[in-house]
Structure 1
Amino acid sequence: MNNHDMKQCFGYIRVSTKKQEEGVSLEAQKEAILQYAAQKDLTVTQWFEEAHSAAKRGRPIFTSMMRQLRAKRAEGVIFHKIDRSVRNLSDWEAVTELPNLDIDVHIVTENIDFNSRGGRLTADLLAVFAADFIRNHQAEVKKGQLGRLKQGLYPFRAPIGYLDNYARQDKTKRADQPKRICPIKGPLIKELFDLYATGQYSIRSLMPIMEKRGLRNHADKPLSKHGIETILRNPFYSGLIVMQRSGDVYPGQHKPLITPQLFCRVQDIKSGKAGKKVTKHNHLYRGLFRCALCDAAMTPEKQKGHTYYRCQNSACPTKTVREEILEHDIEHHLTQLQLQPKEIKEMELQWQRWIDSDERHAKQQSLDLAINQTKARLSRLTDLLVDGTLSKDEYNERKRALSLELQQKEVEQANLANPHLSEQEMQKFLELMKNVTQLYQIAKPAEKRWLVENWFSNRTVLRNEPCLEPYSWLRSRDVAELAPYVKMHDPLFELLLRREIK
């Protein structure tokens, strides 16, 4: 019998995941269909291959095939198994209508006559069993995912900057282990947060910077504006797992790439709570100085190759001051604030005494109490949700805020409990403070703005003279007062050490 005398059929094969069990791969399904077709004197004129879960409606290949069958482009269709064809009853109903259109339906693994009442009943029962199986499977998958989340494990694809763990035997993804920091992308994600935390870069201005650094998305393409925004608002990088749809919050087992403090600062900048963001194209001290007489902003303007900062109040005695004058005055104040070798030595000894001091132990007790109180507030949230005092959205929002607060306190507690780490940080800070003027001079414009904003509380101009007042902690020679500010400067110091910002 030649092909023209054989009934022409479509062949439909499907896998729901890229990795299928042995025996149901696309090739295995195709081979079984071809053998069946040869036995039944059928010929497959067109293949429809789909890698899509049949539990979901709207499969494009399946839809296209059904449209062509209804247009009589073939006399029949061959499926490998019912659960390979459809696993939701809506699509199955469309298949069972085909015999009414004189389109034959063949199932390789089942000897079913779709033109008889008994055959259709058997097929319908098998379809119901398949639909029940997928519903039960979905429920079990969700239950397993929830169990992992409660353990602090992220059962989905690792975010950019992290890597999934794979079993050595069959290279399958392991969901029972925390995500690993990617040695290439991880540091770049940290740098992205550090840059944005300075407040001197917009998300758009960070796109070419991170592209130049080599940060790519999962598709190995440069990050888009949306991609950077997604990273910056993801608390996963600070150690929390927050489910986007439900808003549920879980403490993660994975190693954080950034501190909770840095994450919170980035969120404040994004929401505008930390002041207006500027980009590297703005004038150096824009928005940082005000008139000492009328409190008007000193607005920069370019004239004859120089930048002048002008009081916008025409009746005010303060007129303009050149940018070079401001910079010279800043460097002069920083030189006076630099730590001398004798002061460094005394403060190192003071630091050692502080480690064993009653003050530090009191601080530890205070933190322990604060942590317990935060945990108690987290526990009470569930009761408020159950009795209807809080909506689910309010509950998730408060839980996320309290979880971040708890993280920050636990990091501070860990630093107090591990004085060697804190001692290293303090030594680095003191070393940089010994050369604070040079630090400022080698800083890029964005870094200089950050230093001026965070080191000088009063930044005014009186007539044509700058007036600068450093924060008290910067003038202090007391390590107990300096200690809280060491961490605050880590993002900038990390950047200065890399010396790659442009």
Structure 2
Amino acid sequence: MRVAIYIRVSTKLQEDRYSLKAQTTELTRYAESQNWKIIDIFKDVDSGTKLDKDGLEAMLDQVEDGKIDIVLCIEQDRLSRLDTIKWEYLKGVLRDNRVKIAEPGNIVDLSNEDDEFISDLKNLLAQRSRRDLLRKMMRGKRQKTREGKVWGKQPEEYHYNKETEEVTVNEERSWIIPFIDSLYIEKGLGANAIAKELNKISKTAEGKLWTNQQVLGKLKNPAYHGVLQKTFSNGETITVPGVYPPLRSELMYARIQNILKKRYRRKPAEPHFLRDVTIMCSTCQREISVKKHYTYSRDKTKKYGIFLLTHTNEITQSKCIAKPVINDKRVKYRIAKAVKDILTDTNKITEYIDSDFDETELFRIDADVKKLQKLDADVRTKMDKLLDLYLDDKWPKEKLDERYRMLEEQAKRIEADLKEKNRKRALIQSDKLNYDTVTEFFSIASRFEELLEPADQQRLIGSLFPTATLDTEKNRLTLHALLPQQVTVDVNIPIESIEEVTEREIMEQAKIRYIKAQQILNEQKGLSLEALSRLIGSQPTTLKWDQERFGAFKHLAPNKQSSAVRQQRVALLKEELRRDPAISGRQLENKTGINRKMIYKLIEEEGLKQ
């Protein structure tokens, strides 16, 4: 029998602890005792949840070339802790090539249903043991907290001795708490002002400048009046008094919390059409918020509120290379226009939606799926390595927990994206996702411009587009429309420039002024342009420009300087002079209503008495 020996550890730490050499020695002796011919020894220092490992892939190449009859490993979990889909793929390759899995003392024939069932159980147990280890870790930390034992990184005002498990005051930093309390309670300074005062005296323990968030953390932390308090991922909060040497009294802590509640009592956010949309920055992958900013008129007499799309806080904004600050006016009009274009002109759909729901799109989805699968494998490898670091007991457990939670959230998002991509592929293949279904979905948004209340606009847009991505480099906001089929379609909204917004607003104001002027003329027919301008509150020249943009006003009195009026007057004078060539200027004025100076001017210029 031809055998391939496969050995694996998750990380370099395990390579030292569990010894690849020891596995090799034991498996080589076992193969020789069975009179098997060793074809090659394959090894990996990588996660068991990952399929694309160099050693494993090299071994599978030999399997598919028909060079191997048995894969020998210490335990099956060395070969696989794969999820169901990847495990089925691996079994399929081995089964199709009639290759068995062997452990010392046991052989599994995957073509045998009973053997395959046992092998599946081992794979599930390997996955479960990994989850059990995590649960035990968290249970241990909760129990340690209940016993009043601290763990992880401690506040800089304390020292923690791991050997004696004793917490003592750090005399070099203990002054910080009474200093902050004094400024906050006695002088009434806020967190920003206190941070500035601290920076005049000292930096943080890490040698950095103090921030308002760090000051707030000190004000809110119950450790400084002796209390150990931890909140865990299962929602449980454990509180143990008398653990830390107190640096402030419990009464002082209560006073501080009371003031904090009053100062930081948040008002409900003002409604905004993008308030319910989770917007991410394409540059730094952090969230973008809708923030209200106030500005003033040039003479400082009027205050205006404007909404900006920017990062939630100054620190995040400063770290982002793009540093986005987008006035909401630059996207609101374009969103309404996109909805209208999609509903009224099928030729314009491709301007906003970069998909034809065809073979090209399917190819793109398949490429995305492969990337997500690789990303998923990488994340799970990192999670496995964190477990090894945790067991090594050389790293701060609090930091490892925080990192693990981040990876866990990332893994969940990747899994959700994979499911969504597969749903989208199936819908396109069955012709259940096309331009018609998208247009039908967008018909709901046709009411957007009709909704006058910002809260109604907020609910509508939030329900249609739960998420979005702001890309300042490409100058666009991509709305991720969530269709009833639970798949997303990206709608690319170009962001207007400041000049485009200004020009559009000027035109909108001109249209409003034009409509108002026409309404006045409908009620007061025959008004002159000068009289109309006084009623509107605009210059006559401005109303002339409005007529050039939108058409001549109806019922407006003719311009006295116009050629049509002059011709009309000349005709009246000719008729009167024909009847009575000796008629006087006063008589002409009474009969025609034309000013006498104008009469004399027209008679001379037109030669009416020749």
TM range (shorter): 0.3 to 0.5
TM-score (norm 1): 0.36
TM-score (norm 2): 0.30
Higher relative contact order, structure no. (Cα contacts within 8 Å, ≥ 6 residues apart): 1
For the pair shown, the structure with the greater C-alpha radius of gyration is 2
